[in-house]
Structures are given as C-alpha cells and as structure tokens.
Homo-oligomer: A and B are copies of this chain.
Amino acid sequence: MTQATSWLAIPADSDFSFQNLPYGIFSTAASEEKRVGVAIGTWIIDLAEAARLGLFHDWEARYAEAKLVFRQITLNAFIALGAAAHQALRQRLRQLLTEPEAGLRAGAEEVLVEQAAATLHLPVQIGDYTDFYSSQEHATNVGKLFRPDNPLLPNWKYLPVAYHGRASSIVVSGTPIRRPWGQVLSGEATVPVFEPTQALDFELELGFIIGKESRLGVPVPAAEAENYIFGLVLFNDWSARDIQRWEYQPLGPFLSKNFASSISPWVVPLAALEPFRVPGPVQDPAPLPYLQTTGALNFDLQLTVEIITSQSTPAVVTRTNARYLYWNIRQQVAHHTVTGCNLRVGDLLATGTISGGEGPDAHGCLLELTEGGRKPLQLPTGAARTYLLDGDEVVMRGWARTENSRVGFGEVRGKIVPSAYENP
C-alpha cells in the first residue's frame, strides 16, 4: 500500500502521525480562548482558525450544525454532528495535509500551533462515566487479594462487570493528584481510622467516548455498538486501595475512586485504529446471544506505565497490551444498554485496569505488581515502592505501530501532591 504523506514534516516516532489525527481542546498564551485542535507531529491544527480562513467551507455547508463547533470549550458539539461529518472532516484534513495548494500550507502561520506552546484541556464534557472490569488477568489477580478462595466470581465470564464512576473529578493529563484522606481499617482493628491513604495506586485503562445518543428504553445491539463510539482515550483511574477495602461492600467502590481520574488530552478516532484490530481471547463459556460478537474487535495497542520519583531513574513498571481484554467494546455497549439505559454524547466507558502478557510487568496497577503491597517494586538505583508517595509522577503511554508510523495517545501524566488539609 502506498502511504500518503504530508508536506508537513512529521517525526517518525510521533504518536500523532498522518494516520492518527486525534482531536483535543487547547489554548495558547496568545489566544486564551479554548478551541478544537487536531494533533499532527509536533503541531496542533487550530480548527477554529482554519474554519475562519474558510478551509472547511464545503464541509460546513454540508452539516447544518457545523458552524462554530470548533469554537467550543469541549468536543461535544463537534462529536454530536455524527459519524458522516467526522469522516468527511477527516478526509478534508488529509487533503489539507497532502495537497500543499489546498490552503493549509498558505495559512500555516495562523493555523499551526506548536504543541509545546499550547495548554491542553479536558477534551470532553463527560455526562456519565462507567468503568468496566474487562481484563480477566486483572480481575483474577485482584480477586485473589480481596477474596483468596473465590478470585473470579461466577458472574464474571457471563457479563462484563461494571460500575458507575464519578464524572465530576475526571481531569486532563498533567493535573496534580491530591492524596485523599479516608477511613481505613488496619490489620486486626475493628474500628477504622481516618488518615491520608497509604495505598494510592494507578489503574491503566482505555476509555471510549460515546459519539451518538441512544434512546431510553431501546437497547443497542452488539453489531451496531461501534456506531455509538466516537473515539478512544488513555485513562488513569486513580485508586486508594486501603479506603476501597473497607468501604466497598456491598455497593462497590465509592470514595476510593471518586477523588480523581486522569484522561489523555487527545481523543483518537476509532477510524485511526482500524488497521490495528485483532481478535480478542476465546470466550468460554460462549456469551449469551445478546453478547455474541465475531471478528477482530480488540485493538493491538501497546501500553506502558512509567513511574518517576525523586529517588530513582524513571522506570517503566508496566508493559501490556489492550489485545488481552476479555470483553470488547461491542459487548460492553450491548450490555450497558440491554436494559434500555440510554447513552449520551460525551459519556465515557472505560475498560477497567488492563493487565495481561508474559512478563512480570504485565500488570496495570500497583495492587497487582506488588501483590497487594506485600512485595515492594524495586525501582532503578535502589528506591522501592509498594504504593505511590507524594512527589511521585505516573506517566501512561499507549500506541499502535505500523511499518511506517505510530498511532498513539501521547501521555496521561499525574503527579501526587500531599493532602492540603489537616485532619478536621
């Protein structure tokens, strides 16, 4: 296949290749208004400015609601235009990037912004956030710690277990993460104490952004589910394991995860990941009919987690791949809506922690990597961690690779800062 290439120089190792074209919200010191951009190499295409220059004139004429969608503080209005509009804009962007005479090159000074000079913001106004639990390796490893006799519960292989998460505290990559206080029951105690968590963990996840409303009362069949997906993000669902252990029965995690989750600033369109589809694990027992899917529905996305501390050399502690996920996105959407629950543009469906692979580092959270805090993780130059300390920074990365280019998410980064208040 001949690869179309751009007149714009794109570094070969960039996550933001010509095949990617992810969407985000950005601002600059010179122009503080938030607006929609597309990442390409080390640049951002300022779509609001490009529209002002008339580069999307034909596209705007075709979609009634398209006017001003790029001058919004979130992607929601753009997402709501629908798949045909997204596909047409993607084609136009490829044309602008390959045909120097199409107008982008002439307007480059106004339209191209250096990523290094931009501030990235939360890309989507998230309505509801649902977190699945779709990695068999993760569910088994965690189950062993919380329920040694009964790690994978009987329902796990019949339905994609999930719970509702907190949307208000989802923050963009780079936002500092404040160590939460909470109730903890220590050792043999019968009365909890109130203290800053001593078991602050990351969770490596992918998230799917809903691109189309579904109607209340009307399930979305698995075969149609991907029509409801706009794109993917990388996601860190920070967790306080000691708080979780004490609070989670019988209604699930609440405070142990409501203090913050971090999202990548760039939303990668589903179209960019088409070349990287792979079959998921064999599902045995066979799912019930409404959950049955066929074909290559997982994504071959390499995922890493790096920990940066002041006492060690930055170290990649997790290496895994999204291909290991047991339940795929079609099954998650079909299950979520089978009761008639409606989806809205901007909802987030996350995979749950992703683990899987061969190495000792094939675990997507410290709970697994340290076997529940019993086996400290050795970092280069002698430092060790069970859970995260104040000042530690966690950097997640995710990408797919072809011979010619990468399609990736950039980073999701968050640094732990001390709790700002005293015990009341």
Contact = CB atoms under 8 A, between A and B. Distances in A.
Interface of A: 127-128, 130, 133, 143, 146-147, 153-155, 158-159, 161-169, 171, 178, 180-183, 185, 190-192, 194, 216-219, 221, 240, 243, 246-255, 258-260, 285, 288-290, 335-336, 338-344, 347, 419-421, 423-424
Contacts of A217: 178, 259, 420
A210 B322 CA distance: 38
A35 to B, nearest CB: 23
B285 A164 contact: no
B247 A248 contact: no
A156 to B, nearest CB: 9
Given A153-B249, A163-B251, A217-B420, 6 more contacts: A127-B168, A163-B163, A180-B338, A182-B338, A255-B335, A289-B424
B128 A166 contact: yes
A218 B190 CA distance: 29
B192 A146 contact: no
Given A168-B343, A344-B168, A421-B218, A338 B255 contact: yes
Contacts of A338: 180-182, 255
A194 B290 contact: yes
B194 A251 contact: no
A361 B162 CA distance: 34
Contacts of A420: 217-218
5 contacts: A158-B192, A171-B216, A194-B288, A259-B340, A260-B340
Nearest to A143: B250
A162 to B, nearest CB: 5
What is the total number of copies of this protein in its complex? 2
Contact of A163 (B128, B162, B164): B164
Nearest to A127: B168
Contact of A252 (B143, B158, B163, B169): B163
A130 B162 CA distance: 16
Nearest to A341: B258
A153 B249 CA distance: 8
A86 to B, nearest CB: 22
A340 B196 CA distance: 11
B251 A178 contact: no
Contacts of A164: 163-166, 254, 258
Nearest to A163: B251
B163 A339 contact: no
A277 to B, nearest CB: 24
B167 A127 contact: yes
